Amino acid sequence: MSSSNTESWGSRVGLVLAMAGNAVGLGNFLRFPVQAIQNGGGTFIIPYLVCFLLMGIPLLFVEWSMGRFGGKYGHHSTPFILDSMSKQAFWKYIGVFGIFTNLAVAAYYCYLESWTLGYIWHSVAGTFDGQTRDEVANFFTNYTSLSDAQPIIFWVICLLLNTWILSRGLSGGVEKVAKIGMPLLILFGVILAIRGVSLQPGTNNALYAGTDGLNYLWTPDFSTIWSPKVWLAAAGQIFFTLSVGMGSIQCYSSYLRSRDDVALNAMSAGWMNEFVEVCLGGAIVIPITVGYFGIDGMLELVNKVGGLGLGFRTLPFLFQQWGPFLAIAASVMWFGLLFFAGITSSLAMGTPCMGFLQDEFGWKRENAAWAFGATVGILGLPTVLFFNYGVFDEYDHWAGTVSLVVFAFFEIILFAWIFGMKKGWEEITRGADIKVPIIFKYIIQYVTPVILGWVLIASMPANWDKIMNTGLYAQIAAATDPAVIANLEKTIMYQNIARIGLLALWIGIAVLVYIAYRKRLREGRFTH
């Protein structure tokens, strides 16, 4: 059976914007500022940029060139892209992570993405007008507790919108959204960043200057710069922000022609993401928060509420200090840029799953898109219904963090040591519109695998504690209120169910990959 997959990119600009949109996500604006704040501001930036150069860019080169290589053989998902690079059969099952991660992350990511639509609605409707700080914060608690049907309605709208755009294809759907969404995201971000940095004491109830936040972000404390905690956080943020280790980059680049550039495209998408994250993401949340709470107040607030708390519990209240018109405008721009950051990423998560169904089972694009949407809806429903029991966080940890590092480690080993660095370097540089520094050849082969291995090993104790629910059992031991103990026990139960469900998903995809492989053998289709 021949594949029904005849997708292609309409333009290079559209490809780069779509790739940048894949990388630019909610983490650029919600996770990065918190990581910077919790790890010393300027102290965090130096390890962060080092990890970008030694791990981020090498992985971008590897994943872009792997995707283009697999695309030559008609592969548009990681199981058979990886299989095409080695004669050892088990690599196709390592490639399962490239479908699993996208499905599992999309399952909770679309719910988070839908919050932005809800908040735009409530901002325009004036819900936050005149509310106190606690009332705005409690709105988020009530929203995620499903006090009414609105969150589910916006979540369904978000699922349907993602599915419909995916059904329109790469050039007719994903690329068009990227060409509209990315420029608007940058425009909204620049306006909010200028407003945040220009805050002055005594204006709009601000107590401090917004520039104090920038000084905090760009002034390193060299006494703590060698802390392993800071470097581990920096490496983790690079994974999260670039969408490496997911399989979506390989899928996008698999639609390139064999001599299309991957080096400059990878650099362009990567540096655009860094601009959005560091220059915009760091210049909105931190200066605005510092303007009203000061450095110490911001540190205390972040440790209490985290990134989601700053973005959804705190900023809507602070925008209200700017007057009725600016409050609505700032809220629409803030949640609007979060929505565009979210949807360009979630669309990228759909393409590997669709590519697999089209390549291996001959599904039409529209059917594959709706299958993805339905699967994400089923998988995501527990994160909606049991958000307050930590199911959302379980998905995020195992699929959105651990799975990325595991897959990236194995793919760099495959590329540099199994496929071979000589052939790998030829893939990276073939048709390149820039001269790739030769140093990256050795970084990819030696440095990046060591960093990834260190990240895996260093994170094992925390992952084991999470599996054993160590923290939750400690809370149960310290609690005296029967209602609190019952709630914690319920949380453990739901989190364990979530883990079992994620494991079952991985196994189910692996079974489909095996069926597809046997089907290829019967039809005389080969992976190389």
What CA–CA distance (Å, rounded) separates 191 from 16? 23
| Mean pLDDT lowest among 106-120, 192-206, 486-500, 514-528 | 514-528
- Percent helix, strand, coil in the chain, to 5, is 80, 0, 20
Going by C-alpha positions, the residue among 20, 4, 13, 109 that lies closest to residue 64 is 20
Is 12-523 CATH 1.10.540? no
* Residue 221 clears pLDDT 90, i.e. is over it: no
What residue ranges do the domains of the chain occupy? 12-523
- At residue 528, the pLDDT reads 60
Residue 31 host element (H or E): helix 26-38
**pLDDT higher than threshold 60 for residue 271:** yes
Contacts 24+ apart (CB under 8 A), 185-190: 185/24, 185/276, 185/337, 185/340, 185/341, 186/276, 186/280, 188/333, 188/334, 188/336, 188/337, 189/29, 189/276, 189/280, 189/281, 189/284, 189/337, 190/280
Task: Give Cβ neighbours of residue 392 (< 8 Å, ≥ 6 apart).
Answer: 108, 111, 112, 383
The pLDDT confidence band at residue 8, using thresholds 50, 70 and 90, is confident
For residue 237, what are its two tokens? Answer: 């943020």
Residue with structure tokens 């911001």?
298
Q: Cβ of 144: how many Cβ atoms within 10 Å?
A: 17
* CA–CA distance, 404 with 400 (Å, rounded to integer): 7
For residue 292, what are its two tokens? Answer: 């009203």
Q: What is the pLDDT of residue 527?
A: 58
pLDDT of 10 reads: 76
- Tens digits of per-residue pLDDT, 352-364? 999 999 999 999 9
Whole-angstrom Cα Rg for the chain:
23
Q: How far is CA 43 from CA 197, 217, 237, 335, in A?
A: 20, 8, 14, 29
Inter-CA distances, 131 with 122, 126, 198, 400, Å? 12, 10, 25, 34
Q: Collapse the DSSP code of 207 into the 3-class scheme (helix H, G, I; strand E, B; otherwise coil) and give the result.
A: coil
> How confident is the model at residue 225, as a pLDDT?
86
Grade residue 455 by pLDDT with cuts at 50, 70 and 90: very high
Residue 4 has pLDDT above 70, yes or no: no
Q: What is the pLDDT of residue 190?
A: 96
Element (H, E) at 192: helix 175-197
How far is residue 137 CA from its own chain's centroid? Answer: 25
Tell which residue, 513, 505, 241, 514, has the closest CA to residue 399: 505
**Average predicted confidence (pLDDT) for the chain:** 93
Residues 290, 291, 296, 300: is their CA dihedral positive or negative?
negative
Q: pLDDT tens across 90-139, in order?
A: 999 999 999 999 999 999 999 999 999 999 999 999 999 999 999 999 99
Report residue 3's pLDDT band, with 50, 70 and 90 as the boundaries: low
Confidence band (pLDDT; 50, 70, 90) for 50?
A: very high
Per-residue pLDDT tens digits for 282-334: 999 999 999 999 999 999 999 888 888 899 999 999 999 999 999 999 999 99
pLDDT tens-digit series, residues 388-434? 999 999 999 999 999 999 999 999 999 999 999 999 999 999 999 99
User: Rounded to a whole number, what is the largest CA-CA distance in the chain?
Assistant: 75
Cα 192 to Cα 110, 176, 318, 340, distances in angstroms: 24, 25, 13, 15
pLDDT of residue 2 exceeding 60, the answer is no
| One-letter amino acid for residue 15 of the chain | L
List, as one string, the DSSP characters of 52-69. IIIIIHHHHHHHHHHHHH
Asked whether residue 209 carries a pLDDT value surpassing 90, the answer given is: yes
Are the C-beta atoms of residues 115 and 312 closer than 8 Å to each other? yes
Q: How far is CA 483 from CA 138, 396, 486, in A?
A: 21, 27, 5
Which pLDDT belongs to residue 259? Answer: 84
Q: How far apart are CA 370 and CA 349, in angstroms?
A: 14
Burial (CB count within 10 angstroms: exposed 0-12, middle 13-18, buried 19+), residue 53: middle
Mean pLDDT of the region 164-185? 94
Name the more confident of 10 and 75: 75
* pLDDT tier at 525, thresholds 50, 70, 90: confident
Phi (first) and psi of residue 256, to 5 degrees: -80, 160
CA angle 221, 226, 231 (to 5 degrees): 100
Sign of CA dihedral 49, 98, 84, 170: negative
Predicted pLDDT at 304:
87
With a CB cutoff of 8 Å and minimum separation 6, the contacts of 297 are none
Give percent of the chain with pLDDT exceeding 90. Answer: 84
